[in-house]
Amino acid sequence: MRKKSEFPRGYKVNLVNKTLNIGGKPDLYEVYIVEHKALPNPKMFVDMDSVKKFITECEANKVEAKALSLKGYQHVKGVVSQHKEVMSAPELAEIAESLGY
């Protein structure tokens, strides 16, 4: 049986040794390389906590974008009102600026 990944589907995290020039002195470091089809370039991190935080933020942004696009997420409480607020924010900022607030 295949071991389940601790990361969401589509993310590949590999631990590699890489020569990095930190502090003007090249040295060999263990880094985590994160790859996903949505990322144009692989991202490098020096610890697993940073990797988990990055993936969590990416997934949260993806869910929020889907919710605000109002495709299949209308049942989420407050999504429609939040969508309207996001859409009207630029106009409200212009009005506030013209009134001197």
Question: 39 by DSSP, 3-state: which?
Answer: coil
At 81 the pLDDT is 65
How large a percentage of the chain has pLDDT more than 90? Answer: 18
At 64 the pLDDT is 77
Residue range 3-29: average pLDDT? 83
Q: Taking the model in full, what pTM does it have? A: 0.59
Residue range 14-19: average pLDDT? 90
Q: How far apart are CA 73 and CA 80, in angstroms?
A: 9
Q: Residue 92 class from Cβ within 10 Å (0-12 exposed, 13-18 middle, 19+ buried)? A: exposed
pLDDT tens-digit profile of 23-72? 888 888 889 999 999 889 999 998 999 999 999 888 888 877 776 666 55
